[in-house]
Amino acid sequence: MIKETLYAAVNAGASQLTHYFNRPGLQISNKEGINNLVTEADHAAEKAIIETIRAQFPDHFLLTEESGEHVSASDTKWIIDPIDGTVNFANGIPICCVSIGVEKAGTLIMGAVYNPILNEFFFAEKGKGAFLNDRRLQVSAKTEVASSCLVTGFPYTYLDAPNGPLDCFDRFIRAGIPVRRLGSAAIDLCWVAAGRFDGFYEHKLNAWDSAAGFLAVLEAGGQVTDFTGAAYSPYQPHLLATNGHIHTEMLQWINKKKPA
């Protein structure tokens, strides 16, 4: 029933995303910070998702980007980003998605990421693999960072911190390594799982950004850690996800141990 409800919830959110995408007069406001946008579509998608989950599991814990924690004693938690890539969405850029992870007793057991504009539905289940529109996913086979295609994201704060986002980015691009910036961490992670990117790193993520996508990377045969190489938790900010083959070298690059 959890899997069926997850599919239904993601589709309910995606229906709102599609309804509002490129809609004239879309209501857009700014949350705390610079370019931290929220639109009427975010709220509509979150409402539809919550109603879908609550219809089947009224007592489950919910963690959502827009309304925060809906606390309960249940050991099942739904981690919800109604629209990941809101800046893209608000500007009519079709790299945006609904992302929902399901956590049981502190372990991610399922995740779904759906970009209805591109008709790409990613699903992962612990121990059972990761899929794109029912096609099983496998990470890439690249073995060197120098020949890899990477993706990252930039927070709007502390860009100039020592060994921060700009320092890391500078090291890679000065070495001629392609680094993309799509604007949706959930899609970045799923595209690593699909083998389109060989690695993804980011300095500041929230649980709803990464929960579903990081499970997809693991289930596609990849590796996900923090910047020290320790096991990743969606509740800490630093994430490195790779095909596994370049993971150790990527950690060296990120931690200034690899000459550019």
pLDDT band per the 50, 70, 90 thresholds, residue 155 = confident
Walk me through the domains of the chain, giving residue ranges and CATH numbers.
Answer: 2-136 (3.30.540.10), 145-254 (3.40.190.80)
Looking at residues 63-92, what average pLDDT do you find?
Answer: 94
* Global pTM value: 0.94
> What pLDDT score does 36 carry?
64
Higher pLDDT, 33 or 227: 227
> What pLDDT score does 34 carry?
60
With beta carbons less than 8 A apart as the criterion, state whether 150 and 197 touch: yes
> What pLDDT score does 90 carry?
92
pLDDT band per the 50, 70, 90 thresholds, residue 158 = low
Q: CA 182 to CA 88: how far, in whole Å? A: 9
pLDDT band per the 50, 70, 90 thresholds, residue 67 = confident
% of the chain with per-residue pLDDT over 70? 94
DSSP H or E segment with residue 217: helix 207-219
With beta carbons less than 8 A apart as the criterion, state whether 71 and 158 touch: no
The tokens 């239904």 sit on which residue? 8
> What pLDDT score does 175 carry?
94
CA distances from 122 to 60, 66, 99 (A): 23, 22, 9
pLDDT band per the 50, 70, 90 thresholds, residue 258 = low
Looking at residues 33-59, what average pLDDT do you find?
Answer: 89
Least confident of 29-38, 172-181, 217-226: 29-38
- Mean pLDDT (the chain) is 93
